[in-house]
Amino acid sequence: MKFSVVAIAGLLSAVLAHPETISRREIQRRSAISKRCEPSAASFNRRRMEKRWPGRGNTTYTIQTEAPYFDAIQNDTCVMSPILTEGPYVWPRSQTLRQDMSEGQPGIPLWMDVGVIDVNTCEPLPNVLLNFWHCNATGSYSSFTALSPNTPFLELLEQLGIDEEDFTIGVTDLHTDDSTFLRGMWPTNDVGVMEMKTTFPGFYVGRSIHIHVQAFTDWTLHDNGTVSSGNVVSTGQLYFGETMSAELMAIEPYSLHTQINRTTNSIDDIFSVGLKGGYNPVFSTVPADGNDYANGVIGFITMGVDPSANGIDNSMYEQE
């Protein structure tokens, strides 16, 4: 996996302080591509939903739920994946090739049904390795379990005696253990789709509920089970609708996380970067049992990636 060494001044501010420094030109470019692929993304999502929910995915408004948060298949789930921040809890060593990354973590089951399309053609893209990581129901990341999810990141660094200037995402080693829960990767199949089962994430200080994702078009599985991956074509974060999140967070064990108040999408800085970036990184969801999200969630999303992209997109850090 390839990480550019970018000074913390740049990345941390992208994480925490001024993430909205994406250039206007780049925003326009992504919006245009996202718009162009919208019909393809909509029909791609619909076909997948139809497969899981025979008879329900064919029209926009037939999905009946107790509470119709997303009663429509979202057209705008074509994620124009920019190179958004990986965040401080990226830890490639703990990523495992598997289709169920829950490892018994308590909480509500989540099945992520992810489609990938090539933004140049709007066609499904097979054999793209998708790499996911997120926190557990009470906000902890595996491999970093000794770091409190309730302490703001800069304070954590201070406690660890690490100067802010010396911290580089993906380089500075903050890991505290070798646990691997809620980290996994799996490739898209022949028709550009993959599924990953996990446990619905909770939240940690300052961030709305999200799942990190990276896409690789160039990767190799070794005999010893490890994966080496080259071309990072996208790094992003995926989100959930606020109404469903509020419902799920009221249920144990999520509700036991009372030490901090949850940051919602509307006040999360990084979420707004995504929106401004011309894409909608919010899962379309249906209750897995057709009835109640408390029993499990299926999330559909289509990511648009540019296979010719490579590594860090510096335009993310340009000033307007």
Ligand X SMILES: *[C@@H]1O[C@H](CO)[C@@H](O)[C@H](O)[C@H]1NC(C)=O
List residues binding ligand X (CB under 6 A).
39, 42, 50, 58, 60, 72, 75, 106, 136-138, 140, 145, 222, 224, 226, 253, 260-261
Give the separation between CA 81 and CA 89, rounded to whole angstroms: 19
CB of 304 to ligand X, least distance (A): 15
Give the separation between CA 135 and CA 130, rounded to whole angstroms: 17
Closer Cβ to ligand X, 13 or 31, answer by number = 31
CB of 295 to ligand X, least distance (A): 18
CB of 278 to ligand X, least distance (A): 16
Widest Cα–Cα separation across the chain: 58
Closer Cβ to ligand X, 140 or 180, answer by number = 140
CB of 82 to ligand X, least distance (A): 23
Closer Cβ to ligand X, 107 or 274, answer by number = 107
CB burial string 5-31: b at 16+ within 10 A, e below: ebebebbbebbbeebebbeeebbeebe
Nearest alpha carbon to residue 208 among 258, 155, 262: 262
Residue 297: φ, ψ to 5°: -130, 135
Closer Cβ to ligand X, 201 or 299, answer by number = 201
CB of 160 to ligand X, least distance (A): 17
CB of 110 to ligand X, least distance (A): 14
As given in the structure block, the two tokens for residue 239 are 């989100």
Q: Report, in angstroms and rounded to the nearest whole number, the Rg of the chain calculated over CA atoms.
A: 18
Closer Cβ to ligand X, 224 or 266, answer by number = 224
What letter represents residue 309's amino acid? A
246: CB partners within 8 A, 6+ apart = none
Closer Cβ to ligand X, 138 or 237, answer by number = 138
Helix (H) or strand (E) holding 50: helix 38-52
Residue 292 burial by CB count (10 A; 0-12/13-18/19+): exposed, middle or buried? middle
Closer Cβ to ligand X, 14 or 137, answer by number = 137
3-state helix, strand, coil in the chain (%, to 5): 25, 20, 55
CB of 317 to ligand X, least distance (A): 32
